Structure 1
């Protein structure tokens, strides 16, 4: 799952928190990241469920991801302005509340058994998730000594990866296990999402009552450079890089269940368990990548991972059985460091434009909407081999960015 480090108009500075314990705030952020990862990756379960339940094409079923990730393109910058006005704590509470409301909307959608209502509910959930990311991510950096900020961020992101790993297992047990009755009813998603909504409301109430450190949301960055925001080559190419990366990551995860069903001829419930390995490998990859990035150049690691992802997809689509399955799952391991590396290379050297650049990079997460829909469209008209060329193109661009596009020459 993509994680935005900061966003437009936001700059953090600790105030009025002398002697205050950071433990409650860190625990609340860990819960927040887990829920963000869990909810986002549960979409991978909804795609095959709705595809069969509403007799959809692959492109139609991918609208689950389209409307969810489109929200990043629409809401990231407005969410940053909202958090600037309300503060981080109220922003997080509001994000939980909006996501919970979206979960509650699954009830009328399931009662009427209407796909469009589910898409509307997911759009509302996504608004809450975007607001949570915008409010929470900068908050981590000031909750303790500055020299351990990276360690705190890595730890909290690891909790988010745990959520992405659990979600497919949860979806397989509670949702896809009832896939046989999905043609007549969507009740299988009703109670899981009502439970999620209730949990989110409880978390919102708890966070609203916690005494958390107060952080300034004003932009205090200064820079003597007179360069415009779009004069930085690494940023311009990096925005496209984030778009391509998120698109590739999401599209592979979105169709992995159906891909494995076709390969192994097993039920969707069983195939969805493999998706947990795909997302779980990203947790392992983050731990390995954190060590490698300390001793190797980030651009070189990025290029190597992009090359490996291309090779693994090529192996998968040209083979069969478990070799094809685990080759595609291995792409998740390659994905682990890509977002953070592209992001850091993109904002390197932009000075006073860092927060504005972060906002633009955040909106590029909408690549998850466009690329997944495009891959679904290709599968409707061609084969899996052709459809998976879409993420290959994305990884080719990331390879270019690692080799050349990140170099900070003036546009």
Structure 2
């Protein structure tokens, strides 16, 4: 079994298929937009349901767990029904997850929100599994990397705009915790009222996703590359390759650290005195993700001249230093600058780790890609660990969890740069 990823070999160019590229780019934007809204949702749910940090991070756990659960079944499904029909199904599942926020808000029940996030993320996973190789195959194979970079830039654009949308509709009214003396009926009414702020933005997103699904269905007969048939592969054998196995660990740590920092931003910025309102803190999340978009363009130029292992090590070290400063010494504006600037250093890590890990795999590249895609489940585990730490030692010091992740990634970059893993 295989999880389709960005490095899958695309089929030869299909005449007329390039006209689908704007639609595929819109898909990258859409799932980036939906994914980053969880960062805005966390402080609202944390206050409404009086959650600890670990409990609040269950949102990210349920969201990214879907990648681990759905990726392989999605790849098998798309191999049977094709790219565009698979995307239609994924978009409808995403819309269904968004619609689930309405009954969750009406019930004022936290587990219902977690279920909605899991379904939404399951749909995103299906769309990603189809859209990555489809983008690579829409046009001249020699320009596949350029098309993917463009699509990923629009994904980052979505992660930059999403927090502004979420802050305006979810955090504009602020966040409120229930009064200690509320009885059961008053508490239930309070939670329903607060949760209702989440309903409208997700209903809007659901409507847009349905329209996108309808457009994809209308274009389902457009010429597209054939879905590549991939065998089961010997994953245990591949995991014995040090560059790949350590690369998968680095992907796990990177996604986990990136998501953990993004999830903590609103609460951290208020705690550090960088801003006084949840809405303004939510707006600053767009800076974190916007810097990642800027860094991606800068990194694509730098990587022409500097060894990727060295670039990875420098970026991971920079992120670790900034996280350490934010955790231990800085306050106010300086703390905000430090933690938001981590986004700039995050930018090139995922694609750099991905390409380094599969370098030289040859016919085993699809299997290696599958292993790396499954490692995205780090986005479920690391934020939860950070939440557990925050409940015990405070949110600032809990940033040492992603700092440790970045330090390990820097070590991987240095090992690759030194050629140690090539000789293993």
**TM-score normalised by length of structure 1:** 0.93
Change (3 A) 1:220 1:70: closer
Provide the C-alpha distance between the structure 2 equivalents of 1:44 and 1:53, rounded to a whole number of angstroms.
Answer: 15
Mapped contact 1:247–1:371 kept (Cα < 8 A): yes
Match of 2:402 among 391, 398, 407: 391
Q: What is the CA distance between 1:6 and its match in structure 2?
A: 3.6
Moved over 6 A (4+): none
3-state secondary structure, aligned to 1:55: coil
Mapped contact 1:141–1:153 kept (Cα < 8 A): yes
Mapped contact 1:69–1:126 kept (Cα < 8 A): yes
Mapping for residues 3-82 of structure 1, pairs under 5 Å: 5-6=5-6, 11-14=9-12, 17-18=14-15, 20-23=16-19, 25-82=20-77
Residue 194 of structure 1 aligns with which residue? Answer: 203
- The range that moved more, 138-147 or 336-345, is 138-147
Residue 181 of structure 2 aligns with which residue? Answer: none
Q: What is the CA distance between 1:409 and its match in structure 2?
A: 3.6
Provide the C-alpha distance between the structure 1 equivalents of 2:54 and 2:176, rounded to a whole number of angstroms.
Answer: 22
Q: What is the CA distance between 1:4 and its match in structure 2?
A: 7.5
Q: What is the CA distance between 1:231 and its match in structure 2?
A: 3.2
Mapped contact 1:278–1:331 kept (Cα < 8 A): yes
- 2:246 matched to 1:237? yes
Provide the C-alpha distance between the structure 1 equivalents of 2:394 and 2:176, rounded to a whole number of angstroms.
Answer: 28
The number of equivalent residue pairs is 401
3-state secondary structure, aligned to 1:239: helix
Q: What is the CA distance between 1:358 and its match in structure 2?
A: 1.0
Provide the C-alpha distance between the structure 2 equivalents of 1:322 and 1:37, rounded to a whole number of angstroms.
Answer: 27
Provide the C-alpha distance between the structure 1 equivalents of 2:146 and 2:4, rounded to a whole number of angstroms.
Answer: 16
Mapped contact 1:49–1:182 kept (Cα < 8 A): no
Q: Over the residues paired in the alignment, what is the CA RMSD in angstroms?
A: 2.1
- 2:307 matched to 1:311? no
Q: What is the CA distance between 1:259 and its match in structure 2?
A: 0.1
Residue 362 of structure 1 aligns with which residue? Answer: 373
Provide the C-alpha distance between the structure 2 equivalents of 1:133 and 1:370, rounded to a whole number of angstroms.
Answer: 21
Provide the C-alpha distance between the structure 2 equivalents of 1:194 and 1:156, rounded to a whole number of angstroms.
Answer: 25
Residue 85 of structure 2 aligns with which residue? Answer: 90
3-state secondary structure, aligned to 2:344: helix
3-state secondary structure, aligned to 2:326: helix
Q: What is the CA distance between 1:179 and its match in structure 2?
A: 3.2
Mapped contact 1:59–1:380 kept (Cα < 8 A): yes
Mapped contact 1:11–1:216 kept (Cα < 8 A): no
**TM-score normalised by length of structure 2:** 0.90
CA deviation map 1:39-93 (0-9, x unaligned) = 0000000100100111111111111101000111111112111111111111111
Provide the C-alpha distance between the structure 1 equivalents of 2:230 and 2:248, rounded to a whole number of angstroms.
Answer: 24
Gaps of 5+ in 2: 179-189
Residue 338 of structure 2 aligns with which residue? Answer: 327
Gaps of 5+ in 1: none
Match of 2:271 among 262, 270, 294: 262
Mapped contact 2:295–2:348 kept (Cα < 8 A): yes
Residue 183 of structure 2 aligns with which residue? Answer: none
Provide the C-alpha distance between the structure 2 equivalents of 1:212 and 1:374, rounded to a whole number of angstroms.
Answer: 45
Mapped contact 1:14–1:214 kept (Cα < 8 A): no
Change (3 A) 1:259 1:319: same
Q: What is the CA distance between 1:410 and its match in structure 2?
A: 6.6
Provide the C-alpha distance between the structure 1 equivalents of 2:21 and 2:177, rounded to a whole number of angstroms.
Answer: 40
- The range that moved more, 292-301 or 172-181, is 172-181
- 2:156 matched to 1:164? no
